[in-house]
Amino acid sequence: MSPPHDPSSNPRKVVRTPGGHWAFVPEPLPPILDFDPTLRLRLAEAERSLGRLADLRSRLPSPEFPTRLLLRREAILSSRLDDLPTSSQDLVLFEARPSTKGGASDVRQVANHVRALEHGLGACLGQPVTLELIRVLHRILMKGVRSEHQTAGQFRKTRRPVDPPGCMEPAALLPPPVREMRAALAALEKHLREPSDLPPLVRVALIHSQFEMIHPFLEGNDRVGRMLIALLLRAWGLLPCPWLCLSAHFLRHREEYYGRLVAASEPDEWEEWVGFFLRGVTHQSRDSLRRVLEMQGLRDNLLARLRRSPFRLPLVALVEGLFERPALTVVAAARRLRVTGREAKHFIHLLVDAGVLSAEAGSDGEVVFVARDIVRTIDENPRPGRS
């Protein structure tokens, strides 16, 4: 896609910046969509698959136990799209013993991502998603990382080009200049508050794309934009538990994902983007349903190993906690059980002997005990073929 020679000849709204570049200004939502039979079928499949995932929550004896694990999965894969190659093992070790070393910047951002998601999901219950909440998410995401003091939680006051990861060529158009950006953000917030006749899943797809085109922060836009998906699904009652990991779909089809986002600025490309998004909802709903059931089976298996232990109650409490944080230290175990460090160490070694935990070197070199089988449940395992 090359810059237009004459803005008036281009169907998109573009403006020339003082530097002589073209900048794209997205039109307010919603666009006019053609719901052809293919798009209607994809919407029906996505709604059905998401509904099955939502229904699973009521059938679990402990519906909250897989939530933090799946939030970590989303944070890891969303960050990987931004070229932050943190593994699930890196993240759980860092959370158990945070490192202050400079090399821990990437994993710190992923840990921040988890915290931002948790905050946002709590804040949007019964409340609309607002620009202020989006700024808070960004502030949490960027805490303690580069440029924190200059940009965390602040909409940009300058313009910058966007070369999204996975794109083969530099972006042809810049995001909107600051004045137009502010107007576009105000229009987006207005759309978030107003009722709409569009199917909610379609609205989520449009809002994610619109936010990415506005690009209101100097960095971290893509990750905040993907957080919005989880928040809107919960705020609009589509998925009460944040178990959908759409970043896995975006990562698996990375080039298509960024290509569709850029192309969505064309008036006749919105349907293609929405169809791609809905295909991801269908596939990832099925994937998450399978993972949650695997986690439930693993939990039952681990607890069965402890059934005859004379220390069953404290050991069960530790195992239940591992489905929130799959790595722990002796100090953390003592705090959770309200026992001495010596007693906590004894219980941990019983779990090591039972094959539940294994000793690992933490991010600061100290020993951390990790539930490897639990960690594996959030690892990405791409399957060949179309999703």
Ranges 90-104, 272-286, 350-364, most confident: 272-286
pTM recorded for the entire structure: 0.89
Please report the pLDDT score of residue 7 as a whole number.
46
pLDDT in tens, 53-87: 999 988 887 767 789 999 999 999 999 999 998 89
Residues 221-276: pLDDT tens digits? 999 999 999 999 999 999 988 999 999 999 999 999 999 998 887 777 899 999 99
Task: Write the secondary structure of the chain as one string of H (helix), E (strand) and C (coil).
Answer: CCCCCCHHHCCCCEEECCCCCEEECCCCCCCCCCCCHHHHHHHHHHHHHHHHHHHHHHHCCCCCCCHHHHHHHHHHHHHHHCCCCCCHHHHHHHHHCCCCCHHHHHHHHHHHHHHHHHHHHHHCCCCCCCHHHHHHHHHHHCCCCCCHHHHCCCCCCCCCCCCCCCCCCCCCCECCCHHHHHHHHHHHHHHHHCCCCCCHHHHHHHHHHHHHHHCCCCCCHHHHHHHHHHHHHHHCCCCCCCCCCHHHHHHHCHHHHHHHHHHCCCCCCHHHHHHHHHHHHHHHHHHHHHHHHHHHHHHHHHHHHCCCCCCHHHHHHHHHHHCCCCEECHHHHHHHHCCCHHHHHHHHHHHHHCCCCEEEECCCCCEEEECHHHHHCCCCCCCCCCC
pLDDT of 260 reads 93
Q: Which CATH architecture has domain 310-376?
A: Orthogonal Bundle (1.10)
pLDDT given at position 140: 96
- Predicted confidence band of residue 112 (pLDDT cuts 50, 70, 90): very high
**Residue 100's pLDDT is what?**
61
Is the pLDDT score of 383 beyond 80?
no
Identify the residue with better confidence: 150 or 341.
341
Residues 172-191: tens digit of each pLDDT: 558 899 999 999 999 999 99
Q: What's the pLDDT score for residue 224?
A: 97
The residue ranking higher by pLDDT, 318 or 63, is 318
Domain 32-292: which topology? Fic-like fold (1.10.3290)
For the chain, the structural domain boundaries read 32-292, 310-376
